[in-house]
C-alpha cells in the first residue's frame, strides 16, 4: 500500500507539465480558466497539437495509436491538462465510438474511421436520446428498415451535443420493432451530410447552442455502416457506457475548478479582507476540498482495481455521482464568490467579444459555469439512474 506517486510517475508529470507549458496557447488557457466558450476551430487546433505529440488518445491500445500509459499516468495527464487550462478534447469520437469500433467493428471500419478520429478529420456526435427515450433509452423509436444495401432511417434524436459541427453520428436505431425492447436495436454510423437529415438548435438555459434536435426523413445509410450484428446494438451501447468511465468522476476538472475558486476568493474582498479569509466562506471551500480528496482517492482505487481486473463495472457509478455533486458545489461557490456580479449575463464576454469588461475576466462566466454544471448530473445516465445501477449490480436489490 503506497499512496504516493513513484519517482517515474513524478518524472512523467514534469514531462507533461513542461510540454504543456511549451505548446498550450495562453489564449486558450485563459479562456478555459475563466470558464468561457471556445470555438470549434480552437478545439480542433488543440486536438491536432496533441495528436502530433501522440497524446490525443491515451485510452486507445497502442496498435491503434494509443500511448501505452498506465491508468495512473492517464490520471496524471488529465490533471496536468486541466491544471494548465487545456481545452477538453471532444469525447464522442475518441472515447465513445472508437472503443466500440475497435471491439465490434469490421476491419474496413477500423481502417477508415479510427485514423480520421485522430486527425480530427471527422467530428462525431452521439445519436442516443429521443423525445420519448431519455433515461429509458431502450424505448427508442427511430426506425431503420433494410432496403437492399441500405437502411432507411426515419425518426428523431434529441439533446445531440455538437451535432451542428458533426461529420458523423453513431446512432441507436430500432431494426426489429417486434423484439423486446433492448433486443431489436442496432448501432449505425451515419454520415451527417446524407440527404434527409435536419439539425435544429436547442438553446440551453445558459444561452448556449451546444445541443440539437436531429430529424431523419428517409435517410439512406449503407449496410456497411452497421457496427456489430443487426439487433445487437444494445451490446455496443452498454460497452460504450462502461468504457472509460473512470474519468467520469471528473477529478482533474474539479481540481482545476477548485483552484480557480480559491484564486477568485483571494481576489474578492469582504469586510476589507480577502473573501477566502472570511471564516464562513473559507470553511465552505474547505469542506468541498475534503470531499474532493476523498473522491480522488476513491477514483484512484477504482483505477487500481481496473488495472488488476478489467473494465470497471458499476463502481464507476459511485464516481459519477460524487464527482458531479462536487462539480456543482464548487461552481456554485464560484458564483457566490463574485457577489452581485454573478448576475450580469453578457454574451459578448462569454464568447469572443471585444467590448470592455463590465467587472473582471473571472466574473463573466461565474454563474454560467454553474448552470453548465447542472447537465453533469443528467447526462451519461442521470445520477438517479446511476443509483439504480448500483442498487441492481452491486447491492443486488
Of 232, 245, 104, 93, nearest in space to 169 by CA: 93
Quick one: which segment of 14-22, 77-85, 152-160, 381-389 binds another protein (CB under 8 A)? 381-389
328 binds another protein (CB under 8 A): no
Beta bridge partners of 265: none
Q: Is 244 assigned a catalytic role?
A: yes
Question: Quick one: 73 or 158, whose CB is closer to another protein?
Answer: 73
Which residues touch 381 (CB under 8 Å, ≥6 apart)? Answer: 135, 241, 317, 320, 389
Question: Quick one: 171 or 295, whose CB is closer to another protein?
Answer: 295
4 binds another protein (CB under 8 A): yes
- Please identify which residue in 32, 84, 197, 321 interacts with another protein, judged by CB under 8 A: 321
Give me the residue label for grid cell 453548465. 372
Q: How far apart are CA 94 and CA 105, in angstroms?
A: 15
123 φ, ψ to 5°? -110, 130
Q: How far apart are CA 318 and CA 389, in angstroms?
A: 10
Which residues touch 227 (CB under 8 Å, ≥6 apart)? Answer: 100, 101, 104, 105, 109, 170, 187, 188, 189, 233, 236
Q: Quick count: other Cβ atoms within 10 Å of Cβ 268?
A: 20
The x, y and z cell numbers of residue 162, run together, are 455538437
282 binds another protein (CB under 8 A): yes
295 binds another protein (CB under 8 A): yes
Query: Which 68-107 residues touch another protein, going by CB under 8 A?
Result: 72
Which residues touch 185 (CB under 8 Å, ≥6 apart)? Answer: 138, 140, 172, 173, 174, 175, 231, 233, 234, 237
Minimum distance from CB of 394 to another protein (Å)?
Answer: 7
- Please identify which residue in 113, 170, 318, 368 interacts with another protein, judged by CB under 8 A: 318
Question: Quick one: 229 or 277, whose CB is closer to another protein?
Answer: 277
Total number of residues that touch another protein (CB under 8 A): 45
Q: How far apart are CA 141 and CA 185, in angstroms?
A: 9
Beta bridge partners of 126: 170
Whether 288 contacts 329, CB under 8 Å: yes
- Please identify which residue in 298, 351, 360, 379 interacts with another protein, judged by CB under 8 A: 298
285 binds another protein (CB under 8 A): yes
Catalytic residue, candidates 79, 130, 210, 244? 244
338 binds another protein (CB under 8 A): no
Question: Quick one: 164 or 262, whose CB is closer to another protein?
Answer: 262
Question: Quick one: 348 or 384, whose CB is closer to another protein?
Answer: 384
Quick one: which segment of 21-29, 138-146, 215-223, 293-301 binds another protein (CB under 8 A)? 293-301
- Please identify which residue in 30, 179, 205, 297 interacts with another protein, judged by CB under 8 A: 297
Question: Quick one: 1 or 62, whose CB is closer to another protein?
Answer: 1
- Please identify which residue in 179, 294, 343, 357 interacts with another protein, judged by CB under 8 A: 294
304 binds another protein (CB under 8 A): yes
- Please identify which residue in 289, 328, 344, 361 interacts with another protein, judged by CB under 8 A: 289
Question: Quick one: 5 or 341, whose CB is closer to another protein?
Answer: 5
Whether 240 contacts 100, CB under 8 Å: yes
142 φ, ψ to 5°? -55, 125
Q: How far apart are CA 246 and CA 259, in angstroms?
A: 22
Whether 85 contacts 32, CB under 8 Å: yes
Quick one: which segment of 86-94, 185-193, 280-288, 359-367 binds another protein (CB under 8 A)? 280-288
CA distances from 224 to 113, 265, 358 (A): 13, 55, 54
Binding residues (CB under 8 A) for another protein: these are 1-6, 9, 72, 259-260, 262-263, 266, 276, 279, 282-283, 285-287, 289-291, 293-295, 297-298, 300-301, 304-305, 308, 318, 321-322, 384, 387-388, 390-391, 394-397
Catalytic residues: 244
Amino acid at each position: 500500500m503506497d499512496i504516493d506517486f513513484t519517482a517515474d510517475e513524478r518524472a512523467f508529470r514534469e514531462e507533461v507539465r513542461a510540454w504543456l507549458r511549451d505548446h498550450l496557447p495562453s489564449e486558450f488557457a485563459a479562456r478555459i480558466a475563466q470558464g468561457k466558450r471556445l470555438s470549434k476551430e480552437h478545439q480542433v487546433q488543440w486536438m491536432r497539437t496533441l495528436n502530433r505529440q501522440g497524446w490525443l488518445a491515451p485510452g486507445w491500445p497502442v496498435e491503434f495509436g494509443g500511448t501505452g500509459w498506465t491508468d495512473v499516468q492517464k490520471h496524471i495527464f488529465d490533471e496536468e491538462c486541466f491544471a494548465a487550462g487545456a481545452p477538453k478534447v471532444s469525447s464522442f469520437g475518441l472515447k465513445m465510438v472508437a472503443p466500440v469500433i475497435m471491439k465490434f467493428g469490421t476491419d474496413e471500419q477500423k481502417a477508415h474511421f479510427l485514423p480520421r478520429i485522430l486527425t480530427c478529420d471527422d467530428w462525431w456526435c452521439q445519436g442516443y436520446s429521443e423525445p420519448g427515450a431519455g433515461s429509458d433509452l431502450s424505448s427508442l423509436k427511430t426506425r431503420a428498415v433494410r432496403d437492399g444495401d441500405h437502411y432507411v432511417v426515419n425518426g428523431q434524436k434529441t439533446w445531440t451535443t455538437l451535432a451542428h459541427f458533426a461529420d458523423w453520428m453513431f446512432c441507436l436505431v430500432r431494426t426489429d420493432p417486434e423484439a423486446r425492447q433492448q433486443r431489436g436495436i442496432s448501432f449505425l454510423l451515419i454520415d451527417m451530410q446524407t440527404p434527409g437529415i435536419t439539425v435544429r438548435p436547442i438553446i440551453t438555459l445558459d444561452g448556449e447552442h451546444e445541443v440539437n434536435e436531429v430529424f431523419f426523413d428517409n435517410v439512406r445509410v449503407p449496410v456497411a455502416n452497421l457496427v456489430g450484428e443487426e439487433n445487437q446494438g444494445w451490446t455496443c451501447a452498454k460497452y460504450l457506457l462502461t468504457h472509460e468511465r473512470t474519468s467520469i468522476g471528473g477529478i482533474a476538472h474539479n481540481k482545476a475548478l477548485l483552484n480557480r475558486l480559491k484564486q477568485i476568493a483571494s481576489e474578492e474582498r469582504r469586510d476589507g479582507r480577502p473573501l477566502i479569509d472570511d471564516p464562513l466562506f473559507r470553511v465552505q471551500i474547505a469542506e468541498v476540498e475534503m470531499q474532493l480528496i476523498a473522491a480522488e482517492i476513491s477514483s484512484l482505487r477504482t483505477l487500481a482495481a481496473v488495472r488488476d481486473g478489467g473494465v470497471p463495472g458499476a463502481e464507476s457509478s459511485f464516481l459519477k455521482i460524487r464527482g458531479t455533486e462536487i462539480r456543482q458545489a464548487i461552481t456554485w461557490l464560484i458564483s457566490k464568490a463574485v457577489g452581485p456580479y454573478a448576475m450580469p449575463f453578457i454574451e459578448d464576454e462569454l464568447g469572443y467579444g471585444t467590448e470592455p469588461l463590465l467587472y473582471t475576466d473571472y466574473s463573466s462566466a461565474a454563474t454560467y459555469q454553474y448552470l453548465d454544471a447542472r447537465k453533469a448530473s443528467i447526462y451519461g445516465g442521470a445520477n438517479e439512474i446511476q443509483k439504480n445501477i448500483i442498487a441492481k449490480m452491486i447491492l443486488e436489490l
